[in-house]
Chain A
Amino acid sequence: MSTSSPAAKLPVSLAANPRLSSWVRLTGEGRVAISPGKVEIGQGIVTALAQIAADELDVDIGRIDMIRASTAMSPNEGVTSGSLSIQQSGRALRHICAEVRRRFLAAASERLGVDAALLDVEDGTISGPGNVRTSYWELAGDVSLDYDITADASAKSVAKRGVARHSLQRIDIPDKVFARPRFIHDCALPGLMHGRVLRPDISGAKLTALNEEAARVVPGLVAIVRDGGFAGVVADSGTAAETALKALRKAATWSAGEPLPDEDDLPGFLRSQPVETTIIDIRTAEPARKPAQTLRRQYTRPYIAHGSIAPSCAMAQWDGDHVHVWTHSQGVYPLRADLAIVLKLPTENIVVEHMEGAGCYGHNAADDVALDAVLLAKAADGRPVRVQWSRHDEMSHAPFGAAMAIEIEADLDADNEIVGWRHAIWSNGHTARPGRAAQPALLAATEIANPYPRMISTDPPAANGGGGDRNSVPLYDLPAWTITSHRLLTMPVRTSALRTLGGQGNVFAIESLLDEIAALRGEDPIALRLRHLRDQRARDVISTAARRAGWKPQKRPGIGHGVGFARYKNTGAYCAAIAEIEGTDDIRVKRLTLAVDVGEAINPDGVINQIEGGAIQATSWVLKERVRFDRTRITSTSWTDYPILTFSEVPAVDVEIIQRPEIEPVGAGEAAHGPVTAAIANAVFDCLGVRVRDLPITRDRIIAAMELAS
């Protein structure tokens, strides 16, 4: 006889971290510490998680202290990525807090002699018939939370939740408005020293010789650190560290680098490399319908930089053979795993603690700089060292979002109905995150005396949303399709996770071609989409966005409208976008109207903020962004060379949430990028009559498309 493990019924984060006390602790008089494993990266997650905890525990949210993730005590929730924090951490906290409440009610029942079912909790005070009362804090000594949760705990019904679905103000914003240090960059540890690392301009070049003389005499220099091709300085001030680094740079000799592709022929490069090919999905039609014609279209997107406003930063402090690391990494445990490999230390010797950095949109240099700090701090005699990258290094050495070439062949019958669909992707992998392999993914690990090879990016499995293939399987009810992903086995330009992974590229391709087919048929593009969608939630976001945008507005010269839709990862948030643009050969996005369905929106304004932010960032990607390089080096190393959308260029963004309290919530952070990208591209066609299939959609690209069309 077999029984299923109770853990199997638990949310994934709980199955891995079932101990109540790792999530919830009653601290001091009237305080509750909530300790999630997910981290704040500007998305407002700690506020939403506090709301969930406040609801289940029946305490005022003002009593809750959100504890920053640390390997010293936090549950291990892996990486804060994939729009999964509400889904994973939120569900876990809901169950955990429900169980904590149940245990306290049981203890109160015993102390007060009242049936637990008759007791009520209000802001942590437990009361019952006959005016009996106690509180969580009075009972704290009687109730141990050092228990593993079972599947029993039942969370409150939706109707009984009073905090969720309200737009509470974010708990981190007052600090940021009143200049109270909260960012790792602003943290002043006693005795803090400053480190900088020497990195090559030439891509892939190795340090072969270094004359340290000039750097050694810089006032304030504490140490020059060398470990194979890794070199850096430690100084008593940031300025001294910069000066010493400048001296080192002048005295460094580098090997030849590794050639970069031709930035003007990305598809040529992507489609000529050795690849690992995976059939993502096949649907066969019975009987197969014979096409009258086949449309074959190629779409591309360039490498895209994360471009956090703050360069990556970390602090480290050694105590004998133990090291404490402060980081804005998205994953404290995975980072610790990689540090342990490089340092050849047991993980117990390393504490990795999260501290906020600037907004992070995926795997940037946060983890790399943490190893830099650890290596430099070895020379600091037990004092903490803060390392901060330069803007130049951030824009050239941090991983980029991968370039993609996508080809779709659509078979059409005599009525231009789709009877077959083949979607093929060529791209580097979309993730090379730390903590997932036997080798470290950290930059300095490839530079030290016994270097590790640079990790070639891979893709998450389709069950986790895939990587290059993310959102490549149409949500539309097409009769037949074959989806193929070709992952590059070479990686001259370093890539890893950037918001949506391959989702933005694939949605751009699918939604552009659907738009083209609708135009060919003379059919309204929204009508065509709705005709191929059975999922009511999908239909609802499209119809809602259409209604809100007054679809379809009267045709006016110089103005265009376009639509885009996706369900992120095909399992997450539904989002539809309608773009209004104006332009002739240069375009301006005037307005974006979006509808989104994340299930239960825990903090509606937080969801809107994420969708607005995603829409604006996607607009920036579409209109402006492209990592530039020549055959030897990345050349877009400043904001001048890598421009992003400015305040005057930002469109109006209007968002409607379809609130579905009965449906488990999912994240909103990546839902808008694909739909907005497609909506803008389709609006360009509506406005100018040309299809631009290569991102970014710049003036040059539009003129080239016009020349091709004429």
Chain B
Amino acid sequence: MPTVQFQLNGTPIVVEADSDRALLDVLRGRLDVTSPHFGCGAGECGACHVMVDGRAMTSCDMPMWSVAGKEVVTVEGLGTAERPHPLQRAFITEQAMQCGYCASGILVSAAALLTRNPSPTEAEVRAALDRNLCRCGSHNRMVRAVLRAAAEMAAS
């Protein structure tokens, strides 16, 4: 079986996987990284978003060959309860979800946005999250949470 080498949440790893296998399958099925969620398998809902070299990408349709040598970050790599990322703290403060199944993909999209644009406008936040679907209607809370995190990061 071929191997693929990449960075996962800051740690270099080598994983055996067919080069056309989807990154999401490898993360969930082989590496027990469960925050990226399967939603549609067609790159349409964003539940599986991970950061690849700083950009939010769908992992359900991303072949392993394209990940080789890249840096992949999931919610597991954003922060922990002890050392939360400002976005994680803000999502709790704003109670920014209902079911939360879409939330990890949205946290990743937001983290990627704040990396390239540390002080986005509300419209920019919405545009950055347009590839993430939320069915419960928690959109406005999530947008507020992202803006809160951005303000916090700017102040620190």
| Contact of A178 with B84 at beta-carbon distance under 8 Å, contacts A183-B101, A309-B101, A359-B99 already known | yes
Least Cβ distance of B108 to chain A in Å?
11
Q: Mark B125-144, 1 if CB is under 8 A from A, else 0.
A: 11101101111111111110
Contact A177 B88 (CB under 8 A): yes
Least Cβ distance of A218 to chain B in Å?
13
Q: Which residues of A contact B99 (CB under 8 A)?
A: 41-42, 309, 356-360
Q: Which residues of B contact A616 (CB under 8 A)?
A: 137, 139-140
B147 within 8 A of A: no
Beyond A43-B98, A358-B99, list 17 extra A-B contacts (CB 8 Å): A42-B136, A174-B92, A176-B100, A178-B80, A181-B34, A186-B34, A309-B37, A359-B101, A391-B39, A609-B98, A609-B141, A612-B138, A613-B136, A616-B137, A647-B139, A650-B137, A650-B139
Least Cβ distance of A173 to chain B in Å?
6
A617 within 8 A of B: yes
- Report 15 cross-chain contacts, Cβ distance below 8 Å, ordered by A residue: A169-B95, A178-B80, A309-B45, A361-B135, A390-B41, A391-B40, A605-B95, A612-B140, A613-B98, A638-B40, A639-B42, A645-B139, A647-B132, A650-B126, A650-B139
A388 within 8 A of B: yes
Q: Which residues of A contact B29 (CB under 8 A)?
A: 237-239
Least Cβ distance of B86 to chain A in Å?
12
- With CB as the reference atom, state the residue of chain B lying closest to A47: B95
Q: Which residues of A contact B44 (CB under 8 A)?
A: 638-640
The residue in B21, B45, B76 that gathers the most chain A C-beta atoms within 10 A of its C-beta is B45
Task: State A652–B143 Cα separation when bound (angstroms).
Answer: 11
A614 within 8 A of B: yes
B138 interface neighbour in A169, A188, A609, A620, Cβ under 8 Å: A609
Least Cβ distance of B132 to chain A in Å?
7
Query: Which 7 residue pairs spanning A and B have beta carbons closest together?
Result: A42-B99, A616-B137, A613-B137, A359-B99, A176-B100, A358-B101, A179-B35
B8 within 8 A of A: no
Contact A646 B133 (CB under 8 A): yes
A37 within 8 A of B: no
Q: Which residues of B contact A633 (CB under 8 A)?
A: none
Q: Which residues of B contact A647 (CB under 8 A)?
A: 125-127, 129-130, 132, 134, 139, 142-143
Least Cβ distance of B28 to chain A in Å?
8
Q: How many residues of B contact A (CB 8 A)?
A: 54
Task: State A332–B109 Cα separation when bound (angstroms).
Answer: 35
A311 within 8 A of B: yes
Classify the interface of chain A: helix, strand, loop or mixed. loop
Q: Which residues of B contact A639 (CB under 8 A)?
A: 40, 42, 44-45, 133
Q: Which residues of B contact A42 (CB under 8 A)?
A: 97-101, 136
Q: Mark A627-666, 1 if CB is under 8 A from B, else 0.
A: 0000000000011100011111010110000000000000
A307 within 8 A of B: yes
Q: Which residues of A contact B137 (CB under 8 A)?
A: 612-617, 620, 650
B57 within 8 A of A: no
Task: State A614–B91 Cα separation when bound (angstroms).
Answer: 20
Interface residues of B in 66-92 (CB under 8 A from A): 74-76, 79-81, 84, 88, 91-92
Task: State A613–B138 Cα separation when bound (angstroms).
Answer: 6
The residue in B45, B88, B92, B101 that gathers the most chain A C-beta atoms within 10 A of its C-beta is B101
| Contact of A179 with B104 at beta-carbon distance under 8 Å, contacts A174-B92, A238-B25, A650-B140 already known | yes
Q: Which residues of B contact A41 (CB under 8 A)?
A: 99
Task: State A645–B75 Cα separation when bound (angstroms).
Answer: 25
Interface residues of B in 108-156 (CB under 8 A from A): 123, 125-127, 129-130, 132-143
B56 within 8 A of A: no
- With CB as the reference atom, state the residue of chain A lying closest to B77: A179
Contact A177 B38 (CB under 8 A): no
B51 within 8 A of A: no
Task: State A173–B75 Cα separation when bound (angstroms).
Answer: 14
A185 within 8 A of B: yes
- With CB as the reference atom, state the residue of chain A lying closest to B127: A648
A308 within 8 A of B: yes
Least Cβ distance of B72 to chain A in Å?
14
Task: State A76–B70 Cα separation when bound (angstroms).
Answer: 51
A310 within 8 A of B: yes
A172 within 8 A of B: yes
The residue in B40, B103, B123, B129 that gathers the most chain A C-beta atoms within 10 A of its C-beta is B40
- With CB as the reference atom, state the residue of chain A lying closest to B79: A178
Q: Which residues of B contact A309 (CB under 8 A)?
A: 37, 39, 45, 47, 99, 101-102, 133-135
Interface residues of B in 1-56 (CB under 8 A from A): 21, 25, 28-29, 32, 34-35, 37-42, 44-45, 47
Least Cβ distance of B31 to chain A in Å?
12
Q: Which residues of B contact A188 (CB under 8 A)?
A: 32, 34
Interface residues of A in 281-323 (CB under 8 A from B): 307-311
Q: Which residues of A contact B125 (CB under 8 A)?
A: 647
Contact B136 A646 (CB under 8 A): no
Least Cβ distance of A220 to chain B in Å?
11
Contact B34 A179 (CB under 8 A): yes
Contact B126 A179 (CB under 8 A): no
Contact B95 A644 (CB under 8 A): no
Q: Which residues of A contact B107 (CB under 8 A)?
A: 177
| Contact of A176 with B103 at beta-carbon distance under 8 Å, contacts A612-B141, A616-B137, A647-B143 already known | yes
Q: Which residues of A contact B21 (CB under 8 A)?
A: 239
Task: State A356–B101 Cα separation when bound (angstroms).
Answer: 10
Q: Which residues of B contact A237 (CB under 8 A)?
A: 25, 29
A44 within 8 A of B: yes
Q: Which residues of B contact A44 (CB under 8 A)?
A: 98
Q: Mark A35-79, 1 if CB is under 8 A from B, else 0.
A: 000000111100000000000000000000000000000000000
